[in-house]
């Protein structure tokens, strides 16, 4: 039986199945990337809810796994060389799980790096910029009198959507016919921008027909539907 007791996070979130991959998360656009990936690959895992309502992400136990106080984070009891691997940053986790399972990342070297390129486009562009739109349009920042920050992030988000939309012309997925971790990283954020952040009108989403076409295909996948609700909110 695998012993995960050396990881202080297991004191707050005990592992009922220590032989399974442990997921610490919440169903936010970054969190669901990993839930969807786990559902797509079929790897056995145990989800643990990290509640922002009780600031769980700031607890010493959570910080022992991710000092950056952000979900998602994992412990794979069966990591490289058979030893447990703790990991945070959703992009790193997606690459790790793709390599571990040999799924959702092309084996061909060129296509593999292009998949990582689009994954980084999401991590460095779409995620941070859409997140700021959320803050200035929907949350505390909407009260700010100065609307220039909101406009800046809307403009940048539209620019990124346009780049993605042009790339998706004539393609089923970001990597063409192949569904990959680049899609799993990107489309939860598109969904969130239109849905939870309610910014579809502000970014003129109707101009980006390829993006919404692929979003619909993404949301129709059974593993995506399941992953969007994991971990279940309390």
The answer to the question of residue 71 lying near ligand GSH (CB under 6 A) is: yes
Q: Looking at residues 192 to 211 of the shown chain, list those that interact with ligand GSH (rule: CB under 6 A).
A: none
Return the residue of 90, 115, 180, 212 that touches ligand GSH, per CB under 6 A.
90
Measure the CA–CA gap between 68 and 50, rounded to whole angstroms: 14
**218 near 224, Cβ under 8 Å?**
yes
Q: Which is nearer to ligand GSH, 198 or 204 (CB)?
A: 198
User: What is the per-residue binding string for ligand GSH in 19-58, x denoting contact by CB under 6 A?
Assistant: ---------xxxx--------------------x----x-
Q: How many residues does the chain have?
A: 234
The answer to the question of residue 61 lying near ligand GSH (CB under 6 A) is: no
Which region among 12-20, 64-72, 159-167, 170-178 touches ligand GSH (by CB under 6 A)? 64-72
Q: Concatenate the DSSP letters of all residues of 128-143 into one string.
A: HHHHHHIIIIISGGGG
The answer to the question of residue 70 lying near ligand GSH (CB under 6 A) is: yes
Q: Concatenate the DSSP letters of all residues of 92-130 into one string.
A: HHHHHHHHHHT-SS-SSHHHHHHHHHHHHHIIIIIHHHH
Calculate the alpha carbon distances from 89 to 28, 65, 86, 114, 215 in Å.
14, 11, 11, 19, 23
Q: Give the position of tokens 């998602």.
A: 72
Q: Which residues, listed in sequence order, are joined to residue 75 by a DSSP beta bridge?
A: 22, 86
Instruction: Please name the helix (run of DSSP H) or strand (run of DSSP E) that holds residue 164, with its range, or none.
Output: helix 148-168
CB of 174 to ligand GSH, least distance (A): 17
CB of 110 to ligand GSH, least distance (A): 25
Q: Which is nearer to ligand GSH, 18 or 193 (CB)?
A: 193
Q: Which is nearer to ligand GSH, 156 or 210 (CB)?
A: 156
Q: Which is nearer to ligand GSH, 18 or 47 (CB)?
A: 47
* Binding-site ranges for ligand GSH (CB under 6 A): 28-31, 52, 57, 69-72, 89-91
């Amino acid at each position: 039986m695998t012993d995960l007791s050396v990881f202080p996070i297991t004191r707050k979130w005990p592992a009922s199945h220590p032989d399974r991959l442990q997921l610490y998360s919440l169903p936010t656009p970054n969190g669901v990337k990993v839930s969807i990936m786990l559902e797509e690959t079929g790897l056995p895992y145990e989800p643990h809810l990290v509640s922002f309502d009780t600031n769980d992400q700031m607890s010493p136990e959570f910080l022992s796994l991710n000092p950056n106080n952000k979900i998602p984070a994992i412990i794979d009891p069966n990591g490289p060389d058979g030893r447990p691997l703790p990991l945070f940053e959703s992009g790193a986790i997606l690459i790790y799980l793709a390599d571990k399972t040999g799924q959702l990342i092309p084996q061909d070297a060129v296509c593999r790096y292009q998949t990582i390129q689009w994954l980084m486009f999401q991590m460095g562009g779409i995620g941070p910029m859409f997140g700021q739109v959320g803050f200035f349009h929907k949350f505390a920042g909407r009260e700010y009198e100065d609307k220039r920050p909101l406009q800046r992030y809307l403009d940048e988000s539209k620019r990124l959507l346009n780049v993605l939309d042009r790339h998706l012309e004539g393609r089923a997925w970001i990597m063409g016919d192949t569904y990959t971790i680049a899609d799993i990283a990107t489309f939860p954020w598109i969904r969130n921008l239109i849905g939870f952040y309610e910014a579809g009108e502000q970014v003129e989403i109707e101009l980006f027909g390829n993006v919404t076409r692929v979003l619909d295909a993404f949301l129709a996948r059974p593993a995506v539907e399941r992953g969007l609700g994991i971990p279940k909110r309390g």
